[in-house]
Amino acid sequence: MATLQADMDMEKWGNRLGELTPQERSIVAQKATEAPFSGIYTTNKESGIYKCKVCNTPLFRSDDKFDSHCGWPSFDDAIPGAVKEQPDKDGRRTEILCAHCGAHLGHVFTGEGFTEKNTRHCVNSLSLSFEKKSTDKGLKEAYFAGGCFWGVEYYLEKMEGVKDVISGYMGGATKNPTYQEVCEGDTGHIESVKVIYDPSLISYKELAKHFFEVHDPTQIGRQGPDVGEQYISAVFVDDANERTTIKELIGLLEKKGYKIATKIYDKTEFYEAEEYHQDYYERHKKEPYCHRIIKRFD
């Protein structure tokens, strides 16, 4: 472990170093930086606490997180006493580390004017773990696939009662697939979205109805200009009630003359897509090119 930095407190690391991936070790121990917009927490909007990946010490609160559009998670404050600052070896920046174990987190900047606190803790996602706020336990999840996940995410995320929509891959056998692998068609995965919603504010049926109205459920092996089995229309159901709801909605549409191609599958493991796919249209200030709302239900 000669490559580890001297300011690491190895006693507080315990056996955690061997549990980290090579990329995680390169960041927390060797002070590398992950690629911008590649981290899983860059656009995370859920309520909770961000902890040190190594020692699990709470570092940042979600209430202090903001979107700086810099490509890394940004916080305008840290939990008191949790983060240590020291001059960076480049002589220009200020490095931030976990005050408990010394794991590298990123850098802190001031005077940029993003928030009233005028501070930006720029943190690598791979330096962090996230613990959801306990109130989020009342939320539920739903899984839909309707072509390019950018457009499905865009429309479903605008529904009242929806807390977040995450783009990802589902239905295949390959673990942790990349976008390139899914596009090559060998993984069996479908571009999908995970919808996190409050069932006290919106029902699964309302979500599903809107899903059938933001894409064309009659298309086979494609969605608009996107061709391939990764773009098919599908719903991944978690129980018999969800399956019954989807069948009921398909039946209503077929009575209206639609030839529905939507597949119904049991829920499988969902893999989040790369960070640059999340909130794509919102971040680029654009609207979907292959999805639009067409009212199909009364």
Instruction: State the catalytic residues.
Output: 122, 148
Residue that has been written with the tokens 């529904």 in this structure: 159
Distance separating alpha carbons of residues 161 and 206, to the nearest angstrom: 10
In contact, 205 and 164? CB cutoff 8 Å: no
Alpha-carbon distances of 234 from 48, 167, 264, 294, rounded to whole Å: 31, 14, 6, 18
How many other C-beta atoms are found inside a 10 Å radius of the C-beta of residue 70? Answer: 15
Q: Beta strands of 14-148 (E only): which ranges?
A: 48-52, 58-61, 65-66, 74-75, 83-87, 94-98, 104-110, 119-123, 128-132, 140-146
* 91 CB-near residues (< 8 Å, 6+ apart): none
In contact, 150 and 32? CB cutoff 8 Å: no
